[in-house]
Amino acid sequence: MEYVAILLIIFAAFYYFIHHRYLKQQDLKDSSFKKKGPLLNSKESVFYNALTTAVGQHGIVMSKVMMSSVVTPKETDKKRWFIASNRIAKSYFDYVVCDPRTLEARVIIELDDGSPLSKGKIERQKLLMHVCKSAGLPLIGGNIKMSYQVGKLRRLLAAHIDLIEPDREVRFCKRCGTPMVIKTAAHGDFKGRRFFTCSRQPHCTYTENYNVVFEEES
Ligand SMILES: [Zn+2]
């Protein structure tokens, strides 16, 4: 028993010695770095290119954006703020489509690389969905196939950001023939999503999905 205790003391002393003598004395110049290669792997790059094409001039696409750069905990209680902040500390969003003028995040896109569902992947998806839902950020799930379906990507994005000039796009109510107006859903599952609605509301309640215009593409 004594023997073990002595050994432990020696070990602790040794650790303390090493720690102070070497690690603390290390200079910044003793750490050197090398480049890691491209920021995105080939699949991520192809998807990125499709996304920038789909968005065009209507948004700026950022990739691998730290969650903490986009959202912050709502909590006012210090401890809970710290826990919430810790939850997102090491995570990033795959792609963030930002407003081209203000760079404010408008849509989050998660790319499914096709790898099988693992515990880590499920945890990440849970976190993503929760973060986006509570922050009121639209989340779109993308997959590799969409890298070759720019029209489909555009269709998904169109519900959240301006991809068409509203004044150029004139639609008429299919029920009464009156020109329709663009509105944004204020609540419900589609909160923040835009749609066309008859300008004679509440007399005529006809509405139309905003993104129908892209249906013919790709
Ligand atoms: Zn109408």
Distance 206 CA to ligand 1 centre (A): 5
In a domain, 112, yes or no: yes
Contact indicator for 82, 97 with CB cutoff of 8 Å: no
| Secondary structure element (H or E) that encloses residue 182, with its range | strand 180-184
- Say yes or no: 78 and 168 in one domain: no
> Does 201 have pLDDT greater than 70?
yes
Cα 7 to Cα 91: distance, rounded to the nearest angstrom:
41
Q: Which residues of 57-69 are buried (b: 16+ CB within 10 A; e: fewer)?
A: ebbbbbbebebee
Sheet with 92-98, strands from edge to edge, namely 60-66, 92-98, 105-112, 139-143
DSSP letter, residue 13: H
Q: What is the mean pLDDT of residues 166-170?
A: 59
How far is ligand 1, taken at its centre, from the CA of residue 209, in Å?
14
Q: Mean pLDDT over all residues of the chain?
A: 85
Assess whether 152 and 217 both reside in one domain. no
Residue 169 and residue 145 share a domain: no
Q: Using DSSP, state whether 90 is helix, strand or coil.
A: coil
Domain count, the chain: 2
For residue 134, give its domain range.
42-158
**24 pLDDT band (50/70/90 cuts)?**
low
CA of 175 relative to ligand 1 center, distance in Å? 5
Torsion angle in degrees (nearest 10) through CA of 10, 14, 16, 22 = 180
Q: Are residues 151 and 173 in the same domain?
A: no
- Residues 202-211, mean pLDDT to the nearest whole number: 83
d(CA 185, CA 188): 8
Six-digit token pair at 38?
């491209």
**Residue 10 or 218, more confident:** 10
4 located within any domain: no
Distance of CA 94 from the midpoint of ligand 1 (Å): 41
Per-residue confidence band for 218, with pLDDT thresholds at 50, 70 and 90: very low
Q: What is the CATH number of the domain that holds 106?
A: 3.40.1350
* C-alpha 172 – ligand 1 centre gap (Å): 8
How sure is the predictor about 213, in pLDDT bands with cuts at 50, 70 and 90? very low
Q: Summarize pLDDT for 72-102 with one digit per residue, the tens.
A: 999 889 999 999 999 999 999 999 999 888 8
